[in-house]
Amino acid sequence: MYEKHEAASLVKALRPFHVWALGVGIVLVGEYMGWNFTVAKGGVLGSLLAMLVAGAMYVMISLCASELGSATKLAGGPYDWARLFIGPGAAASVGLAVYMEYIALEAADSIVVAFIAQSIFPQLQVFPVTLLVIALLTFINYRGVVAALTLNFFLTMIAFIAIVVFFFGTAFGTVNIHPEYLFQGALPNGMIGLFAALQFGPWFYLGIEGAAMCAEECKHPSRAVPLGQQAGMITLLIGAAMTLYLCSVLIPAGILGVSVYPLFEAAQNSGVFIFIALLGLGTFLTCVASANGCVCDSSRSWFALSRDNYVSSWFSAVHPRYNTPYRAVIFTMPVAIGFAFSGFLDQVITFSIISGLLCYVLIPFSLVRFRKLFPETTSKVRPFVSPLQPYIAYFAIVIAITILSTLFWGYKYNLIFAFVFYGIAYFYFSHRHRSYTAENNWAEMGWPLPKGPAGSLAIKTEVVGIGDE
């Protein structure tokens, strides 16, 4: 017998700019650090290919997520889509993958913030600063999602403006660039390097699908989710292109491939104080914004898992004053601390990428299933209809699997562990929920019954908190 938690309801207060801030705030850190590992693998050309291939995949994923998020309007995002349109095993796997993706990313961001703080104040220790960052962001998200994402909006805007100012300053001749760097480090490892560079390509955009996870807390999700999601993707594509150009003409490829803070280092090489100050501040703020957004998204994923009894229903409580899933928020803290001090930074980043790629297989597959179950294009069922479907969904799956395969070079043990972990989750929850035969309450969602035998698909008793209010 499954029990529905009595307090599983979130407040609707978010607008499109909050959705934009959540998606871009999480991801923009990928422009400030980590993406340059693509240069170490495949040079400047390899990095360009990785950026374009991953960018194409994320545009497709973003379109799929916009359609699914605006239609379902649920806090669980990819988890809820898999639950509704695939089944309990896939739902549990993708819910855990989303959770691990953002928790690992939060840990990586917090570590970088701690190192930045130590570089400014050498007397500081990395461990307590990392702990402080995680605890502070947990507290902010505990107090309210509007405050947390409003903070993200301002931090993200400052960080993005810093990149734009630096780019145009360089374009107008304020900085002496070195075009020869583009050719010297174009393809150091041959064609094999191009393929190897793909494994870190997702870092340019990792987590943008999380913009749809606040749908249940949006005032008008059918408008806010697609608008915020697509605006966020456009922002990241522009940011990634500017970042690759700036760093490639200011840092030799051999140094760029191992840089901890490539944009900040590029600013230092420019010799212009205002750019150094802006990009130093931008690096710090984008790491904070990313970690803050990760707390928000990971807690919503855990909240959704709890609300549907995949994990203890105790976590699905909503704070009576702040209207946040406060227990799920608090639970992110010890898990993030565990990731932060469990291994090397690249290992943490890689596990986040692997978890994300699993989601990028199941998100478009959820859309394919959704369209087969509900072919109607009415505004009630599908307020946003993404173009060229289901072809781009299938193409996104192919790209995600291709990138996933490249991780065998250097990170095969991470890949094997992830497959075992998520495979066990899939089969365990498929078995655990095999006799759970209640019907989805499609009528409560305002939808017609699905086509075919899926009309009586046994996944969930009741869908909670769906639709605009």
Contacts 24+ apart (CB under 8 A), 432-440: 432/88, 433/88, 433/89, 433/459, 436/2, 436/88, 440/84
Count of all residues that appear for the chain in the document: 469
Beta bridge partners of 439: 458
Please write the tens of the pLDDT for every residue from 119-139: 778 888 888 898 999 999 899
Domain chopping of the chain, boundaries: 16-434
The class that CATH gives domain 16-434 is: mainly alpha
DSSP string, 30-47: HHHTTTTHHHHHHHHHHH
Name the average pLDDT for the chain: 81
Is pLDDT at 459 greater than 60 in this prediction?
no
Read off the pTM: 0.81
Place of tokens 């819910």: 95
208-212, 277-281, 450-454: least confidently modelled range: 450-454
Q: How many CB atoms lie within 10 A of CB 172?
A: 8
Percentage helix, strand, coil for the chain under 3-state DSSP, each rounded to 5: 70, 0, 25
Please write the tens of the pLDDT for every residue from 339-387: 887 657 777 888 888 999 999 999 999 999 998 888 776 666 677 788 8
